[in-house]
Amino acid sequence: MLQRFTQALIPTVKETPAEATNASHILLMRGGFVRQIGAGIYNFLPLGLRVLRKIENVVRQEMDRAGAQEVLMPALLPGEYFKETGRWDLYGDVLFRIRDRKGGDYHLGPTHEEIITDMVRREVKSYRQLPLNLYQIQTKFRDEPRPRGGIMRGREFTMKDAYSFDVDEAGALKSYENMRDAYRRIFDRLGLTYRIVQADSGAIGGKTSAEFQVLADSGEDAIVACDACDYAANVEAAEIGQTPPGPEFPKEETREVHTPGKGAIADVAKFLKVNAKRFLKSLLYVTPASDAHPQGEVVMACVRGDHEVNEIKLANALGVREVHLATEADIERATGANVGYAGPIGFAGRVLVDPGGAELTNAVTGANKTDYHLMGVNLSRGDYKADVKDIRSASEGDPCPRCAARGESGKFKAYKGIEGGHIFILGTHYSSKMRATFLAQDGSEKPIVMGCYGIGISRLVASAVEQHHDADGIQWPQAIAPYHVHLCTLGTEPEVMQAAKGLCDALVERGIDVLWDDRDERPGVKFKDADLVGLPWRVTIGAKTLARSECELKARSNRDPKGHELLTLADAPEAIAVKLGMGR
């Protein structure tokens, strides 16, 4: 189609909006794609909506191709469904709750597992009706504690969510793999650089799950990927390969050293002139209250001084839902010392130690006595009793678990990612709670085995910009650019306008979408706006080139301001079509 700039609402602005901090937010605002109307709430202007629709259509095509069927569930939901699975309470403040005129509980949908499960349990009775894969593209609502990054993390956002229904685990796994393949095609087609990473599946359901992480320095998620094989994982979930044993040092006697006023590892390391890597960092955590521990259990987590405790792994290792860092008072009560002097030796409670800490020889750690540390500590000698468990976050340089298992030496590289998609097998978590069952071939009643698969459509708009931009503006991948060609006419002479119209018609006839900047503006203004809006190809027609029946073609990705080629007006349509892969 052809859109004339003079008839469009494309309010580009020169100045950086005060509230925008990251590149995508700034450029989407400046380019006139979106406007904020509240915290985490945005208008999509015409250009922004076109990008959103392009992404939706790619997703739709690939979901349909994968055998999924599109449905549409309401955004406004009666509370009873979430109450049925307990998420009415579990979701807490993130749920946007509403009352109707009769005082009934309603909420805006943050996700739709319950509703789809209800849809299916009403209709599906037999194994003959399975497997089934249903998806929707719908607006979701989450009252995020802190929306940020423009449409990157909004409180209202567009999401594609799909749900698979199978007769057994094997079937669910097949559905899962089918979706993973579909997601690969989607992310490839969108022109995004991404990694499929192993993820923590969170509190609800699933052992098998993967995130599609769009790589970008501004991403909120830390991920590690092996430099030798294709293993990649969220640092929260990354397994860590065994390090080969280092050289043996003679074990020293454990001894107490006076370290007055030095609590922090960096300070003690400097004071004792010992590398932080030789420290055993001891942190105290409290588990949620349970029958055995009505006040919660205080446990010690030990890692090497330069490593970080991973609370998710720690909670998993302890078999509890979550853990919280102990308060100062708890620490003093549990260790009998000020904060900064905790250590495993002589600690009364349970101690978990990471393998990296356990293998330390002659380590330094707190003495559970204010102003004192211990040197020459060795777990291998039996200086203290601890469960050795992987409880730390992976970081750059750690050995890859897959490679290590094969005796190879792949190492992690660290990346930042934006979670663009998340797939996982839910099992029967929802179906058993909601009695979504079917009659199997043998006549028995079984819960349906489910999977769920999300893609943050509006987030991908921002992700694409994060990955494809320069100092002047956006550089849309062709598949999601709002238009293919940005036509700049210089001057408004009838001949120029006529030639431009002719070119537009020829392009449109080939299925090419054109934004024609027909404004009476100076060339500089038009070029700046073209760079900002970021369509993949720019065509320029001015009196000079027109005199030779020529126009200019320049790729947005070409950084050379004069990096254009001359085409005759007659050849231009087909030449451009060929560039776009839309030639005849």
Partner RNA sequence: CUGGGUGUAGCUCAGUCCGGCCAGAGCGCCUGCUUCGGGAGCAGGAGAUCGCAGGUUCGAAUCCUGCCACCCAGACCA
Residues lying near RNA in the complex (CB under 7 A): 12-19, 21, 30, 36, 38-40, 94, 110-111, 144-149, 153, 159, 161, 202-205, 220, 311, 422, 454, 472, 490-491, 522-525, 527-532, 540, 542-545, 552, 554, 561, 564
Q: How far is the CB of 434 from RNA (least distance, A)?
A: 15
Q: Cβ closer to RNA: 510 or 564?
A: 564
Region of 337 please: left (phi>0), alpha (psi -120 to 50) or beta: beta
Q: In whole angstroms, how close is the CB of 494 to RNA at the nearest point?
A: 14
Minimum distance from residue 312 beta carbon to RNA (Å): 8
Residue 166: which of 275, 294, 22, 67 has the closest Cα?
Answer: 67
Q: How far apart are CA 46 and CA 24, in angstroms?
A: 17
Closest CA to 351 of 332, 335, 373, 369: 335
Smallest distance, Å, CB 539 to RNA? 10
Q: Which residues contact 313 (CB under 8 A, 6 or more apart)?
A: 236, 389, 390, 391, 392, 393
Q: How far is the CB of 508 from RNA (least distance, A)?
A: 23
Smallest distance from RNA to CB 41, Å: 7
Cβ neighbours of 230 (radius 10 Å): 11
The torsion angle over the Cα atoms of residues 521, 526, 527 and 529, rounded to 10 degrees, is 140
Look at the alpha carbons of 26, 27, 32, 38 in this order and tell me if their dihedral is positive or negative: negative
Question: How near is the Cβ of 469 to RNA at its closest, in Å?
Answer: 13
Output the CA torsion sign for 461, 466, 471, 476.
negative
CB of 127 to RNA, least distance (A): 27
Q: Which whole-number Å values give the CA distances from 144 to 28, 92, 98, 157, in the listed order?
A: 21, 11, 16, 11
The span from the CA of 31 to the CA of 418, in Å, is 22
CB-wise, 14 or 273, nearer to RNA?
14
For 486-510, what is the HEC assignment?
EEEECCCCHHHHHHHHHHHHHHHHC
One-letter amino acid at 534 equals G
At position 307, the amino acid (one-letter code) is: H
DSSP H or E stretch at residue 223: strand 221-226
Nearer to RNA, 95 or 345 (CB): 95
Q: Which residues pair with 373 in a beta bridge?
A: 257, 366
Closer CB to RNA, 274 or 434, in the complex: 434
Cβ proximity to RNA, 72 vs 203, nearer residue? 203
DSSP class of 344: S
Give the shortest CB-531-to-RNA separation in angstroms.
4
Number of H helices, E strands in the chain: 17, 32
What would the DSSP string read from start to end of 547-577? HTTEEEEEETT---TT--EEEETTTHHHHHH
Q: How near is the Cβ of 146 to RNA at its closest, in Å?
A: 3
